[in-house]
Amino acid sequence: MKKTLFMMLLLSFVVLEGQTVRTARHIILDIDGGVDDTRACVAFLSSPDTEVMCITTTDGILSGRDAAYRACRMLSYLGHEGIPVVPSRDTTYEKSWINAVCNTAYCGRDKDTTCSPSVHTVGDVMSNATLGSPKKAIIVACGPLTNVANFIIRDYPLSSMRIEEIIWSSRADDTDYNLTADTAAYNAVVKSGIPLRAVCAGDCEVDEKDLSRIYEKIDTPYGMLLSASAKSIYPHRPPLSDLCTVLYIYYPQLFDSEDRDGVLCCSLSSRVREKDVLQAIKCVMESSFYKEGQMYDGLPDEERLFYDDVRDIKDSVISRYGHSEWRASVITGELHGHLGVYAIVGVKMGQRAREYMGVGIDDVKIESYTHTSPPQSCMNDGLQVSTGGTLGHGLINVDCKDSVCGYPKARFTYGGKDILIALKPSVQKEIDDALMQAVIDYGLCTDDYWDRVRELALYYMVELDRREIFDIKNLREDNI
């Protein structure tokens, strides 16, 4: 009973502490392609409290190149294609049975991959990420420290001032592969003076079936991906060590720590039980730390609070597109004064921009190129609500130039990323034709007209998938 109460207090403390609007942590992920690496990546990506600035791959369980392609498949599946992925140069390493397991573990379908590894160097991408971050970045290393050492010692030593700490999946002893694979890199990182935390599971073990059941209960693309991955490699059991990097960042109270020659070695406490670890993982992946609201703790969802036509689509929108898009759609409708089709397009565009770049709310700067008059101008209200980039924050500008005016498109910039998102012409034509038909049938701005616009807005709220209705273009030729 005392242990249970102890863990409940620890978990509740961190949940309360993490409630914020702006992304609290900016992370650089360095992985070596293991299944446990993928699990850590997906867990970080699933939480809006964490922004993954880039993913670099080092030689380890897989080659840097193979690990990078698998990371691209994962990001494509999750809709985060705008997060840069860059591999290290391949070196010779010994193959083993685990390489075959990692290559067969599900991480999205190859034919659905919509991004590819960056042509830039690991050092360039890491430097761009640290300089583009509004706060010091955290490096999370799930393999040997080769890339990290090269970055902070050889390539961009001044960038170390932009690194808060390095969280490393390792026991930090001579039995640990991540250390012995590149001892020189480990020694260089220790000497750099950047705080190094070596994190491991200690003696704690988690039953793979129990972990799979947790993933199955998380009804999001993140949970579905990890559930499919676990099934694809059964009965193999990946280690828990890389997931411990996630747990340490969110729940450092779960770990016992000791200093070993300047390295803080952290292992899961003996007081921590399997169900505590499972609950912590579930909390992270269900975004228990992040609240987009300022005056309320989530939107009211009682059926009686919604009009009949909204109640009819509520569950469908949430199941298909998530709570965040539903929240933004509801607030936009109230802010806008009526349910408008282009306002919903703006919601979906803003959500897609944040998803694509992997950024939180209140972070993205927007330049909208749509009409300054309705119905297209309604898109700007949806953009502001879904991104937090409001006029009051100075994060949105409506730039209606002759060369681009009249098109539902917008430019989004953040942290060195610069993209243009435009509604596909075929979708725009369908919407415009439907709105014009409403004018023909009912006359402009009549009660019947507004009833029809409401019907269309609710219809498109369900039927328009934000991953399918937009064209996305990188505007920087050197987009890292």
Give the number of other CB atoms < 10 A from CB of residue 85.
24
- The whole-number average pLDDT for the span 423-452 is 96
Secondary structure of the chain in HEC code, one letter for each residue: CHHHHHHHHHHHHHHHHCCCCCCCEEEEEEECCCHHHHHHHHHHHHCCCEEEEEEEECCCCCCHHHHHHHHHHHHHHHCCCCCCEEECCCCCCCCCHHHHHHHHCCCCCHHHCCCCCCCCCHHHHHHHHHHHCCCCEEEEECCCCHHHHHHHHHHCHHHHHHEEEEEEECCCCCCCHHHHCCHHHHHHHHHHCCCEEEEECCCCCCCHHHHHHHHHHCCCHHHHHHHHHHHHHCCCCCCCHHHHHHHHHHCHHHEEEEEECCEEEEEECCCCCHHHHHHHHHHHHCCCCCCCCCCCCCCCCCHHHCCHHHHHHHHHHHHHHCHHHHHHHHHHHHHHCCCCHHHHHHHHHHHHHHHHHCCCCCCCEEEECCCCCCCHHHHHHHHHHHHCCCCCCCCEEECCCCCCCCCCEEEEEECCEEEEEEECHHHHHHHHHHHHHHHHHHCCCCHHHHHHHHHHHHHHHHHCCCCCCEEEEECCCCCC
Give the number of other CB atoms < 10 A from CB of residue 262.
10
Q: How confident is the model at residue 64 (pLDDT cuts 50, 70, 90)?
A: confident
Q: How confident is the model at residue 334 (pLDDT cuts 50, 70, 90)?
A: very high
Answer for the pair 148, 185: CB distance below 8 angstroms, yes or no. Answer: yes
In b/e form, how buried is each residue of 291-318, taking b as 16+ CB within 10 angstroms? Answer: bbeeeeeeeeeeeeeeeeebeebbeebb
Q: How far is 57 from 125, CA to CA, in rounded Å?
A: 11
Residue with tokens 């009549």: 446
Q: How far is 222 from 285, CA to CA, in rounded Å?
A: 8
Q: List, for residues 384-407, the tens digit of each pLDDT value.
A: 999 999 888 889 998 776 545 678
Answer for the pair 69, 118: CB distance below 8 angstroms, yes or no. Answer: no
What percent of the chain is predicted at pLDDT more than 70?
85
- Within 8 A by CB and 6+ apart from 436, the residues are none
Give the number of other CB atoms < 10 A from CB of residue 199.
30
Name the residue among 254, 275, 235 with its Cα closest to residue 101. Answer: 235
Answer for the pair 18, 221: CB distance below 8 angstroms, yes or no. Answer: no
Residue type, 64: G
Q: How confident is the model at residue 9 (pLDDT cuts 50, 70, 90)?
A: very low
Q: What six digits make up the tokens of 362?
A: 């209140």
Q: Mean pLDDT check: name the lowest of 136-150, 152-166, 232-246, 254-268.
A: 232-246
- The whole-number average pLDDT for the span 347-353 is 97
Q: Mean pLDDT check: name the lowest of 301-305, 323-327, 463-467.
A: 301-305
Q: How far is 464 from 460, CA to CA, in rounded Å?
A: 5
Q: pTM for the full model?
A: 0.85
Q: What angle do CA 63, 69, 71 make, to 5 degrees?
A: 100
Query: Based on the number of CB atoms within 10 Å of its own CB, is 98 exposed (0-12), middle (13-18) or buried (19 or more)?
Result: middle
What percent of the chain is predicted at pLDDT more than 90?
52
Q: Are strands 255-260 and 263-268 parallel, antiparallel or unpaired?
A: antiparallel
pLDDT given at position 367: 94
Residue with tokens 């290290």: 88
Name the residue among 239, 275, 276, 238 with its Cα closest to residue 254. Answer: 276
pLDDT given at position 293: 67
Q: Max alpha carbon distance in the chain (Å)?
A: 78
Q: Which domains does the chain have, with CATH numbers?
A: 2-285 (3.90.245.10), 303-474 (3.30.1330.130)
Q: Mean pLDDT check: name the lowest of 53-57, 137-141, 222-226.
A: 222-226
Q: How confident is the model at residue 292 (pLDDT cuts 50, 70, 90)?
A: low
